[in-house]
A and B are shown apart, each in its own frame.
Chain A
Amino acid sequence: MIRIHNVVKTFDGFRALDGLTMTAERGSIYGLVGPNGAGKSTILRHIMGIYRSDSGSVLVDGEPVYENPAVKSKIAAIPDELYYFNSASTKDMMRFYRGIYPKFDVKRYNALSEAFPEVDETLPIRRLSKGMQKQSAFRLALCCNPEVLVLDEPVDGLDPVMRRQVWTLLMGDVAQRGTTVLVSSHNLRELEDVCDHVGILSHGKVLLERSLTDLQDNVVKLQIAFADGNLPELPKDLNLLHTSQIGRVFTLIVRGSPAEIKTRMAVYNPILMEALPLTLEEIFIYELGGEDYAVRDIVL
């Protein structure tokens, strides 16, 4: 559905995207995570057809997005910084979108008033609170009946109830209409609940891109303890991402299949060994630790 191949984008000599390649399948919710400045918003703007890449290709349904109204009409977006015409109300924007997006569904717009009951559609959007503005943006974006929905920090500013409401609507669209959702967020706990695919970006590249299940199956958190209290010398080919110790218990983050790693560690006769699944946040932290992006112990 969305194929991005080797995209390079430079801003005044700074390489924001450095040969980025990623793929999001139709009907998936693709979470784009990465540290600040990794290039998440930049690649989303390429997917929205806003930015022109220096090289590489951004294809939706096999067609380039840039300067392609037919493809762009299938895409709706909620950027991190919302924009509407000055003094325009939600209703005004609905009328405008109705003339611009061919699949805009007025019935859906009316129906969605129940999902966002607090938003006064006649008030200028700029006079609404941040959360209300976000709700208004969701209402308008969903009414475009997009095949691709691009969301940059989408639930930032929404209360927990409204977050749940929004994700329910989105997942409903994914299930019923086959909408592809591309979402960038720093709220990894939330992404973990909704995403089926995740791409981790760093320095303008995708470090790894997998389904969330594959990702969690590929890294294991091993809590292990030995009789003498010391960690034996481990084999050099063991892909150890991180080691920590609390009392006699060592916590090892190791890349690889949990079963295989447990088998290999069993030869050291641990008195305690337990393999735990990693959260997305832990995977993010330990994967980026290898990219020289880790939490530093700084004493002030």
Chain B
Amino acid sequence: MRSATLYFNGPLYRKTMARFWPLWGLWGIIWIFLLPLNLLNTYLAISRDLQITQTNPLAYLAHAQDLLSFLASGVFLALPFGVLAAMAVFGYLYNHRSACWFHALPLRREALFTTQYLAGLSMLLLPQLAASLLTALVEVSFLEVSHWPKVLGILLLFVLAQSGVSLFCFSFAAFCAMFTGHILALPVFYGVLNFLVAGIWYMVDLLLREFFYGYAGISNVTNVIQLLTPGVALHDAVRVTFHDSTSIRSPNTLLLYAIAGVFLFFAALYVYRRRHVETAGDVVAVAIVRPLFKYGVTLCSGLAFGMFTYAFFSWGPASSLICSVLFWSVAGYFVAEMLLKKSFRVLNAWKGAAVTVALLLLFCVCCMLDVFHVVGRVPNAAQVTSVQVNLELGYPYDNGRRLDTTFTDPAQIERILALHRAVVDSRNQKAASPDDYTSVYLYYTLSGGGELNRRYHSVPICKSDWNTPGTVSYALRQFLEDRELVELAYGFDSLLDGARLTTARLTTLEQTSPYGDTSYTSFYVDDYAQELWDAVRADFAEGTIGLRYPFYLSQEMAENTYETSLVFGATDNQTAARPGADVAAAANRQLEIYLTPHAKRTLAVLDKTGVWDAGYSLTPWEDYDTPSTVSTGAEGSVEVLP
């Protein structure tokens, strides 16, 4: 008996395909324009050019190889078309009359689901296949026979990859379709679930950063988050790579998603078999998912709108963030209730809302009080294998501005831990009026293989604490006064590691016109690059250049620093070795250091460059408003005038 066919029903399949021909017709037209017609158009243009200018016939091959780049568009298109196909073939579930009629047919649910699923999948795959066959026809018509295997191989890869993408998108939409009884809820569920993992992760991360001073997130799960965000993962996976041959970036990811598509088919079938017909019209059709939906909406609403409101009004204290999150959580809870009950009269569910608020409040208060010991956690020296540190080393703004290095030396690690402890201890002093701020990023690798990351922005420092052990200012001072670390921060050695010095340039040189107007400019002294480099290194070793000042408006800094800096450029050996390369123009590394009145060797070399003869002079630090001027003498000598 035909109706006894367990998993497929031909008449229903044909009817569904016939009913929704505009959908797969449109999908097919898009692909036909994207692939065969596009390629044909390009080939015809090349053919015309060939007749006139004898363009290289390999251009045909290049365009055929470029086919994989359309996969990015394929992902972009498959995401909405997947859900449109699911809305078409499973739309009968969302109307009581149609749901009853379909389920009164002499078909098992397996047959009903599988038939509709295959119809929906066919709507995506068959037009793609047809467009690919036409593309193959265009390719073999224009390309030499020797190129056929290569281009057809690429086309086959394209078909497989795009089919995998379509399979996943449709299966995911079909899976979402099983959980709702409302046609408009389906695209919403689908869209939200596509980006749910990344969205929640992002919002939770933001929230924790607000609660936990220094919290830097968990960096090693980014790939997992991306993998669980289909839109992002698929788009990333289909990027074209050109190594030995044209391919896609991550075929394994695509394969994984295609397998997930097959798994989602079975999962959707499982849900469909348990679904009640009478749930047509309900936002959530599966009873067990209702609490998940309710509390999911509560959480997402609290996080998203709570954070948005907090940021919108720029509220400062964490208590206002808690209020905002709680308010929007409660709003989300009642909205979810309204959607589930299809009624605005949901205030009788206040007990659930009260419990939700109480639990969220408890969680927020625990976070504020650091019950989970996130804020106050500073590892012991014995636990730390290494620490990558990115520390702001005061002023001026040159290459010595940030120390970015990894320490494995126990003494240095202990120094970092002292700074870390001082920063943690200073967290409650944020309201005091500081003299300046610094920032510290710490990435510990712990002996057990674990990681601990902390990022502290705008850590206040005070002049009064400069000599007080245990304070941030004191701990910072230890780094500022360590010339080896400052040298490391400037990166003198790393600049020329595998590279050669090619340029030197003076910036912010002052020039006064005969009319008294002052302008600032740069001046290239490439011919003296090596000499200047040696002089700077010698002055640095002597401690007359590259000095760091923790406070921006300090008199000491203004008196001992010019606004004029010296920028060295270096070209790495690989680039420099390229035939015909303009080595100076190809400089791809640079090091900037501000000049000081006491860097006598450096200034002496500058005297030789003739920069002063050209009418330029060193620019004094203007931000400091003490009545002092700095001028250069005729030979480039420098004196500081009171």
Contacts and interface: CB of A to CB of B under 8 A. Distances in A.
Given A51-B278, A72-B105, A101-B106, A85 B1 contact: no
Interface string B1-39: 111100001111001000100000000000000000000
Interface string A242-284: 0000000000000000000000000000000000000000000
Nearest to A48: B104
A77 B101 CA distance: 9
B108 A67 contact: yes
A85 B107 CA distance: 17
A188 to B, nearest CB: 25
Determine chain A's interface SS by DSSP, over half rule: loop
A294 interface: no
A228 interface: no
Given A51-B278, A67-B109, A70-B4, A100 B9 contact: yes
Central interface residue in A70, A79, A83, by most chain B CB within 10 Å = A83
A70 B108 CA distance: 10
Contacts of A84: 101
B430 interface: no
B3 A102 contact: yes
A36 B114 CA distance: 37
A100 B277 contact: no
A49 interface: yes
B276 A69 contact: no
Determine chain B's interface SS by DSSP, over half rule: helix
Nearest to A82: B97
Contacts of B278: 11, 51
Contact of B1 (A11, A82, A99, A102): A102
B55 interface: no
Contacts of A51: 276-278
A69 B3 contact: yes
Interface string B539-555: 00000000000000000
Interface in B85-107: 95-101, 103-107
A49 B10 contact: no
Contacts of B104: 48-50, 72, 75, 77, 79
A3 interface: no
A269 B634 CA distance: 149
A244 B98 CA distance: 48
A98 B97 CA distance: 21
A52 interface: yes
Contacts of B12: 96, 99-100
A51 B95 CA distance: 15
Interface residues on A, range: 20 to 34
A86 interface: yes
Nearest to B273: A67
B16 to A, nearest CB: 9
Contacts of A70: 1, 3-4, 106
A90 interface: no
A115 B20 CA distance: 33
A202 interface: no
A99 to B, nearest CB: 3
A26 interface: no
Nearest to A95: B11
B4 A85 contact: no
Interface in A7-38: 11
A100 B100 contact: no
Contact of B15 (A45, A49, A81, A85): A85
Contact of B19 (A50, A67, A69, A86): A86
Contact of B101 (A72, A73, A83): A83
Given A69-B108, A85-B19, A50 B4 contact: no
A70 B105 CA distance: 11
Given A50-B100, A51-B277, A82-B97, A73 B10 contact: no
A90 to B, nearest CB: 15
Contacts of A100: 2-3, 9, 11-12, 105-107
Contact of A96 (B3, B11, B100, B103): B11
A99 B11 contact: yes
Given A67-B109, A100-B105, A81 B11 contact: no
Contacts of A98: 11
B108 A73 contact: no
Contacts of B105: 72, 100
Given A11-B278, A70-B1, A72-B105, A45 B11 contact: no
Contacts of B107: 69, 72, 100
A48 B103 CA distance: 8
Contacts of B277: 45, 50-51
Nearest to A87: B19
A96 B15 contact: yes
A148 to B, nearest CB: 12
Contacts of B276: 51-52
A81 B3 contact: no
Which 10 pairs show the lowest CB-CB distances between chains A and B? A99-B11, A73-B106, A72-B106, A83-B101, A83-B97, A69-B106, A48-B104, A50-B103, A81-B97, A73-B3
26 contacts: A11-B278, A45-B100, A45-B277, A48-B104, A49-B103, A49-B104, A50-B100, A51-B276, A51-B277, A67-B109, A69-B4, A69-B106, A70-B3, A73-B1, A75-B106, A79-B101, A83-B95, A83-B97, A83-B100, A86-B19, A96-B12, A98-B11, A99-B2, A100-B2, A100-B3, A100-B105
Given A45-B277, A69-B4, A77-B104, 5 more contacts: A11-B278, A72-B104, A83-B100, A84-B101, A99-B10
